[in-house]
Structure 1
Amino acid sequence: MTEPLVACSGIAAADRYLAEGFRVVPGMSSQFAAAIVCGLMRIQTDLGVSGHVAEIGTFQGRFFIALANALAPGERALGIDRFDWPSPAVLDRFEENCQSYGIGPDRRITWKADSADISPEEVINRLGGRVRLFHIDGEHTRTALTRDLELATATLSPGGLIVLDDMLHAGYPMLMVAVHEYLQRHPDITVLCVIDRESLTAASKFVLCEQAWFKRYEAILLEDYKAHIWPMGANFEPHWCLVFALDTSLPAVE
């Protein structure tokens, strides 16, 4: 069944999956966030940013398939997961979902592994090149996110993006500490935008980019997604960035 999209990526294959398959594939990722992130991949392609996609915490492939459908020709998507929760059957379900929604073995790499045991060089070697977008939705602890952030950073191509899931989530408050510490260690990286939640489980995401690319991305996002910009923005002290939301209204104040 086709579902009307509140936001579109501008990539036909990705938008078709978002409308017809996204909510069919089990998972907790936000459809709204997937549209914005795939839209960022379109913007990357337009700006000449190339590379592959990698994801930690692939589960049954809901968000992964959206990203893979936004790739340019010759690019591939790498799904990293232990594939043992809630049962080992999740691996077969992931492969079946990918096949059902157009992501064949030539476009995807499935890696059954713990991200703690993976090096940046292994990621790059498996893909045959660097990563232009790395989605992190792995173990939700401060220690694990710190480790996964460093892994992702070391694999990025110029203009690459890191997308962080479950930011500002009531159940995982310490993830913000890991992000704050990471940004202090990497002053060349900043928060490009916040994508607000659909629900408590379909939680907010942060998108990180290199400082040198911030204005280029922001200028296009301001135009392409102006209907979804919350006017107050996000204050990361002293840095401000865009907030995208389904409800951008503000209360009337007299």
Structure 2
Amino acid sequence: MKYGSGSAAVDHYVNSEYDSVYGMSSQFAAIIAAHVMNRQTKLGISGHIAEIGTFEGRFFIAMALAMQPGERAVGIDTFEWPSPKVRDKLHSHIERLGVRPHDVTILTANSADLAARDITDAVGGQAGGQVRFFHVDGDHTPKALTHDLDLAYAVMHPKGVICLDDMLHPGFPLLTVAVYEWLKAHPDMRVFCVIDREDIVAAPKFMLCRHDAHELYEKDLLDSFPEWHFEAASQWEQWVAIVLTPHPRFAIVE
């Protein structure tokens, strides 16, 4: 299946080069994320992108290719696994796949040791230091995720998006509990979209924004990708979130 985000650079990368970068992020999720970034650009929402858990850069490169002039991409990772050479691979992929190196800042660090000032320093104070799209794929423990959410929240644009990886993953069931508890402590925030990986039974991503910004994204996603809309919405007590998947169906139990 060929995917389209509205960005020629992203679409070429995702459809032709994505598998050349080792990682587990899906093509489908990258396309939806890039589409949301394009939507932000059309709405005049400017800012930077950031990612915790960059690894070799598979998802990071897609986000960086969707940036606008003057914006910066910040990648954060310890770059220890499987060896320190992973950082060299990241830089190699960035140069090979059309991302301008001078628009990128790579922080070799554990996100648990970072504060908001470290992110704003990394973008050089440009665009007020605000991040319009923050992808979180770090240490998969509730404590670490809560810290990463706090970090992303502290630097996010008022109409920005936080994207969380490996939600509902069978290997990390308490991550969803951590998100629920964090949302209770931040009543101005909500989940507005659940992005499936490649199939409705796989571990998806959650997209979060402030309550007063969700209408900027939801209808546009439904209008742009009606064939990927799973009609059974995601229930979050006081609100519902849309679900997008390349195979919208109910699981068949035999």
TM-score range with shorter-chain normalisation?
over 0.9
Where does residue 134 of structure 2 map in the other structure? 134
CA–CA distance in 1 between the matches of 2:203 and 2:27? 11
Are residues 124 and 201 of structure 1, via their aligned partners in 2, closer, same or farther at CA, if it must alter by over 3 Å?
farther
CA–CA distance in 2 between the matches of 1:165 and 1:11? 22
RMSD: 1.7
CA–CA distance in 2 between the matches of 1:203 and 1:18? 19
CA–CA distance in 2 between the matches of 1:62 and 1:150? 24
CA–CA distance in 1 between the matches of 2:91 and 2:121? 22
Contact 2:52 2:77 in 1 (8 A): yes
CA–CA distance in 2 between the matches of 1:250 and 1:141? 29
- Which of 59, 84, 88 is the aligned partner of 2:84? 88
- 5 Å matches for 1:1-254? 4-5=1-2, 7-127=3-123, 128=125, 129-198=129-198, 203-250=203-250
Are residues 200 and 243 of structure 1, via their aligned partners in 2, closer, same or farther at CA, if it must alter by over 3 Å?
closer
Are residues 66 and 133 of structure 1, via their aligned partners in 2, closer, same or farther at CA, if it must alter by over 3 Å?
same
1:126 alignment partner AA: A
CA–CA distance in 2 between the matches of 1:138 and 1:131? 17
1:134 alignment partner AA: F
Contact 1:29 1:201 in 2 (8 A): no
TM-score by length of 2: 0.94
Are residues 185 and 229 of structure 1, via their aligned partners in 2, closer, same or farther at CA, if it must alter by over 3 Å?
same
1:117-150 CA-partner distances (Å, limit 9, x unpaired): 1110110121122100000000000010000000
* Identical aligned residues as a percent: 47
CA–CA distance in 1 between the matches of 2:232 and 2:22? 33
SS of 1:106 mapped into structure 2: helix
1:186-216 CA-partner distances (Å, limit 9, x unpaired): 1100001000122699731000011001112
Shift, 1:222, TM fit? 1.5
CA–CA distance in 1 between the matches of 2:112 and 2:243? 31
SS of 2:144 mapped into structure 1: helix
Q: Any stretches of 5+ residues in structure 2 without a counterpart?
A: none
CA–CA distance in 1 between the matches of 2:200 and 2:141? 17
Contact 2:135 2:163 in 1 (8 A): yes
Q: Any stretches of 5+ residues in structure 1 without a counterpart?
A: none
Are residues 26 and 199 of structure 1, via their aligned partners in 2, closer, same or farther at CA, if it must alter by over 3 Å?
farther
Are residues 169 and 178 of structure 1, via their aligned partners in 2, closer, same or farther at CA, if it must alter by over 3 Å?
same
1:152-203 CA-partner distances (Å, limit 9, x unpaired): 0000012110000000000000101110011001110000100012269973
CA–CA distance in 2 between the matches of 1:101 and 1:65? 8
Contact 1:197 1:245 in 2 (8 A): yes
Are residues 86 and 113 of structure 1, via their aligned partners in 2, closer, same or farther at CA, if it must alter by over 3 Å?
same
Contact 2:74 2:106 in 1 (8 A): yes
Shift, 1:106, TM fit? 1.2
